[in-house]
Amino acid sequence: MLGFRKSRERLKQNDGDLPSRLAGSYGISFSAIERLTRRFACLLVGAGLVIAGPVRASDAPVRIVVLGDSLSAGLGLPAADAFPAQLEKTLKDKGMNITINNAGVSGDTASGGLDRLDWSVPAGTQGVILELGANDALRGIDPKVTSAALDEILKRLKARNVAVLLCGMVAPPNYGDEYAAQFNAIFPDLAKKYDVPLYPFFLEGVAANAELNQADGMHPTTAGVTMIVRNILPTVEAFLDTLPAGKT
């Protein structure tokens, strides 16, 4: 009903709205049309038909920040091909009014992301896609250090009422099974602790695929980023639906 009331208010503010044209054409009073419209809306609700979903172009934009490393920063790619830009375009093409800021810094670790958290996620941000940890794993940083940094990021964002979608990372095999087990457990454990959605592996479908990675074998090409966006999109859309501004 909230979405219906907003729609009705927008209709009233528009001198050329449909009810007014109908009233002029058929001699029906606006109040009569309004009563009929209200009854129709009640019937829809009574039938269990609820109009809801992510933000559309007529609403205030949702402001999202991708806090990450080179994987989201778009190392080696034009800015328009980086993950935040491609994701924003995909969502806008689906009719959503959304702004996604790229706060990815190449070479950043989880601790580095924590150090710049306050200025990377400005006031007014409604959601953060948190993509950090790949460099921690590549450098063999103690998983306890990585976990503590990500934990603090999640705690601070929760205190600010900023929703978070946590993106997981997988440790390379060269540090052994014990390290991999400790590192890989960081993300599901923190997602459970802070009750945030988890996308298990940011590079799903792209890692180790030579056709989707640049010459270094680690950073996605434009096509690789497109694959990441395609794979993560359902999770992102579900995440946006949980945001207050994403509800009608």
Mean pLDDT, the chain, whole residue set: 83
Share above pLDDT 90 across residues of the chain, in percent, rounded to a whole number: 74
Distance of CA 164 to the CA centre of its chain: 8
Exactly one of 69, 70, 72, 147 is catalytic; name it: 70
Across-strand partners of 213? Answer: 220
Asked if 219 is an active-site residue, the reply is yes
- Using a cut of 0.85, tell me whether the model's pTM lies above it: no
Q: What is the full DSSP assignment across 107-170?
A: T--HHHHHHTHHHHS-TT--EEEEE--HHHHHHT--HHHHHHHHHHHHHHHHHTT-EEEEEP--
Identify the pLDDT of residue 41.
Answer: 40
Exactly one of 15, 93, 177, 216 is catalytic; name it: 216
Cβ-proximal residues to 153 (8 Å cutoff; 6+ apart), any chain: 67, 110, 113, 114, 117, 130, 132
Sign of CA dihedral 108, 114, 116, 120: positive
Asked if 115 is an active-site residue, the reply is no
User: How close are the terminal C-alpha atoms of the chain, in Å?
Assistant: 8
pLDDT tens, 178-197? Answer: 999 999 999 999 999 999 99
Identify the pLDDT of residue 45.
Answer: 37
Report the C-alpha gap between 72 and 3 in whole angstroms.
34
Asked if 216 is an active-site residue, the reply is yes
Report the C-alpha gap between 77 and 106 in whole angstroms.
12
| Topology annotation, domain 62-246 | Rossmann fold (3.40.50)
Exactly one of 69, 136, 147, 219 is catalytic; name it: 219
CB burial string 88-117: b at 16+ within 10 A, e below: bebbeeeebbbebbbbbbeebbbbbbbeeb
245 falls in which pLDDT band (50, 70, 90)?
A: low
Report the C-alpha gap between 113 and 154 in whole angstroms.
11
Domain ranges of the chain: 2-46, 62-246
Which helix (H) or strand (E) is 64 found in, with range?
A: strand 62-68
pLDDT tens, 27-81? Answer: 444 344 344 444 444 433 343 433 344 444 556 899 999 999 999 999 999 999 9
Identify the pLDDT of residue 33.
Answer: 38
